[in-house]
A and B are shown apart, each in its own frame.
Chain A
Amino acid sequence: MLNTFVSRLRVPLNPLTLHELRSLMRSPRAYSYLTVYMSIVSGITLLIYVAASFNGSSGVNDSSRVGTILFYIVVGMQAIVVSFLTPSFTSGAISGERENDTYELLRITSITPRQIVAAKLTAAFGFSTLLVFATLPLLSLALLLGGVELVQAAAAIGVVLASALFFSALGIYISSRSASRLSSAIITYVVTTGIVLGMAVFMLVVFPLINDIIYGTSSLIKTSPVLGILLQILVFFLMSASPISALVASETNLQESGNIWYITINQAAGATPPLYLPAPFIILIVLYLLLSALFLWFTIRRLDAPIDSL
Chain B
Amino acid sequence: MSIIEAVDLGKSYAGRACLYQINLSVPSGAIYGVVGTYGAGKTTLLKLLATLITPSTGDAIVNGYSLVGSPARIRRMVGYMPQRFGVYSYMSVEEYISFYADCQGVPTSERAALVNDLLQLVDLGHRRQDEVSRLTFAMKQRLSLARALTNDPQLLLLDEPFSGVDPRSQVEMRELIRELQNMGKTIVLTASASQNIAGLCTDIAILSRGELLVSGNAPGVQSLFHQHRTIAVRFFGNVDIATSAIKHNAGVQDIKVISHGLDVGPTSDQAEAPLPAIATVLKEIRASFTGSYGEASELLRLLMRSGVQVVSFNEEPETADALLIYPEGEADTPAAD
Interfacial residues, chain A to chain B (CB-CB below 8 A): 3, 7, 15-16, 18-19, 22-23, 26-27, 100-111, 306-309
Known: A23-B88, A101-B84, A110-B103. 20 other contacts (CB 8 A): A18-B102, A23-B90, A27-B89, A100-B88, A101-B82, A102-B86, A104-B47, A104-B80, A105-B80, A105-B86, A105-B100, A108-B52, A108-B80, A109-B75, A109-B100, A110-B104, A111-B103, A306-B52, A307-B47, A308-B47
Q: Nearest Cβ distance between residue B82 and chain A, in whole angstroms?
A: 6
Expressed in whole angstroms, the Cα–Cα distance for A104 and B53 within the complex equals 10
Q: Which residues of B contact A19 (CB under 8 A)?
A: 88, 99
List CB contacts (< 8 Å) of B86-102 with chain A.
86-90, 99-100, 102
Interfacial residues, chain B to chain A (CB-CB below 8 A): 11, 13, 47, 50-54, 75-76, 78, 80, 82, 84-90, 99-100, 102-105, 108, 147, 151
Going nearest first, the 10 A-B pairs with the smallest beta carbon separation are A101-B86, A15-B102, A102-B86, A109-B103, A308-B53, A306-B54, A101-B84, A110-B105, A26-B90, A111-B103
* Contact present for A104 and B88 (CB under 8 Å): no
* Contact present for A101 and B85 (CB under 8 Å): yes
Closest to B79 in A: A108
Expressed in whole angstroms, the Cα–Cα distance for A110 and B72 within the complex equals 8
Q: Which residues of A contact B82 (CB under 8 A)?
A: 101, 104-105
Q: Which residues of B contact A309 (CB under 8 A)?
A: 54
Closest to B147 in A: A105
Q: Which residues of A contact B85 (CB under 8 A)?
A: 101
* Contact present for B99 and A110 (CB under 8 Å): no
The 8 Å CB contact of A306, one of B53, B86, B88, is B53
Closest to A307 in B: B52
Q: Which residues of B contact A100 (CB under 8 A)?
A: 86-88
Q: Which residues of A contact B75 (CB under 8 A)?
A: 108-110
Q: Which residues of B contact A22 (CB under 8 A)?
A: 90
Closest to B111 in A: A3
5 contacts between A and B (CB under 8 A): A15-B99, A23-B89, A108-B78, A306-B51, A308-B53
Q: Which residues of B contact A108 (CB under 8 A)?
A: 50-52, 75, 78, 80
Closest to B103 in A: A109
Closest to B101 in A: A15
Q: For B87, B89, B102, which residue has the most chain A Cβ atoms within 10 angstroms?
A: B102
Expressed in whole angstroms, the Cα–Cα distance for A109 and B54 within the complex equals 17
Expressed in whole angstroms, the Cα–Cα distance for A109 and B52 within the complex equals 11
Closest to A109 in B: B103
Q: Which residues of A contact B80 (CB under 8 A)?
A: 104-105, 108
Closest to A3 in B: B108
Say whether, besides A3-B108, A19-B88, A105-B147, A307 and B53 are in contact (CB < 8 Å): yes
Closest to A15 in B: B102
Q: Which residues of A contact B52 (CB under 8 A)?
A: 104, 107-108, 306-308
